[in-house]
């Protein structure tokens, strides 16, 4: 299948190794991957700030760049959710509906489309799994703890396939980290306190790494960990799944 790789701008600028891990993982699993070179920001920051009309050019360019592929895959739940629900071009480009129906966050693509049941990956460390709000409550990557319903986690099911990994149990399994895109700019004190609370749950349970499907949340927590001079590190789930088990 022909897959277009959609890399959010902050991943491209600050965490290119996450994009590389995503590409390598998809290729290992048999996908023919293309990277549209003219892709830019998807427009989520403007839309989340109440200026959706300012994102019209981003939407138009996105539709032009990603038209004609079987699937669009991204290592970001929040950007994927934005495209899935809010990609509307001024000219109502006919490609936009197909893109909205075929855009996937990486872990949901592996579980729901590729139906991965095994991975040749190894990561011998204690890891805490952060459930990002957009991924969990928007894309339904995992069950919400306040619901009396069967538990599931698409990222968690993939991590269970990794050899020698030890997933820690958190006190609050799906608490927000406080990043929230522009929320961390408009309400920086609240955002920072939420981030510290989220980090402390992982550190208290001796996590060597904190992982997740949204690099934005991990970036927020990484800043807190570095300021605390903590030995706990962040790592995107694609990097763990892309490791090799010799």
Residues 89 and 145 reside in one and the same domain: no
Is residue 174 scored above 80 in pLDDT? yes
This prediction's pTM: 0.93
Residues 10 and 55 reside in one and the same domain: yes
**Structural domain boundaries, residue 193:** 126-241
Cα–Cα dist 155/106, whole Å = 9
Helix (H) or strand (E) holding 104: strand 103-105
Structure tokens at 45: 């920051």
Is there a domain that residue 120 lies in? no
Provide the domain count of the chain.
2
CB 208 within 8 A of CB 129: no
Is there a domain that residue 121 lies in? no
Is there a domain that residue 65 lies in? yes
The residue among 68, 89, 113 that closes a domain is 113
At 14 the pLDDT is 94
Mean pLDDT of all residues in the chain?
93
Q: What CATH number corresponds to the domain at position 182?
A: 3.40.50
Is residue 183 scored above 90 in pLDDT? no
Is residue 53 scored above 80 in pLDDT? no
pLDDT band at 11 (very low <50, low <70, confident <90, very high): very high
The residue among 113, 147, 172 that closes a domain is 113
Range of lowest pLDDT (1-10, 72-81, 175-184, 229-238): 175-184
At 50 the pLDDT is 77
Is residue 212 scored above 90 in pLDDT? yes
Residues 82 and 141 reside in one and the same domain: no
Cα–Cα dist 63/52, whole Å = 16
């Amino acid at each position: 299948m022909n897959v277009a790789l959609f890399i959010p701008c902050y991943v491209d600028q600050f965490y290119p190794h996450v994009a590389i891990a995503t590409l390598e993982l998809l290729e290992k699993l048999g996908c023919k991957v293309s990277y549209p070179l003219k892709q830019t920001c998807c427009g989520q920051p403007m839309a989340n700030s109440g200026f959706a009309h300012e994102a019209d050019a981003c939407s138009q360019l996105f539709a032009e760049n990603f038209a004609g592929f079987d699937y669009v895959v991204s290592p970001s739940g929040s950007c994927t959710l934005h495209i899935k629900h809010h990609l509307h071009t001024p000219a109502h480009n006919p490609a936009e509906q197909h893109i909205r129906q075929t855009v996937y966050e990486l872990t949901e693509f592996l579980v729901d489309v590729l139906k991965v049941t095994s991975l040749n990956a190894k990561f011998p460390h204690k890891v805490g799994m952060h459930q990002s709000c957009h991924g969990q409550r928007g894309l339904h990557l995992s069950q919400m703890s306040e619901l009396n319903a069967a538990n599931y986690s698409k990222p968690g099911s993939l991590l269970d396939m990794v050899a020698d990994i030890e997933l820690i149990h958190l006190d609050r399994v799906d608490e927000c980290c406080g990043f929230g895109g522009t929320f961390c700019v408009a309400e920086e004190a609240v955002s920072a306190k939420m981030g510290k609370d989220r980090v402390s749950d992982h550190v208290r349970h001796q996590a060597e790494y904190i992982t997740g499907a949204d690099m934005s949340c991990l970036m927020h927590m990484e800043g807190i960990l570095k300021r605390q001079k903590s030995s706990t590190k962040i790592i995107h789930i694609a990097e763990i799944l892309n490791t090799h088990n010799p």
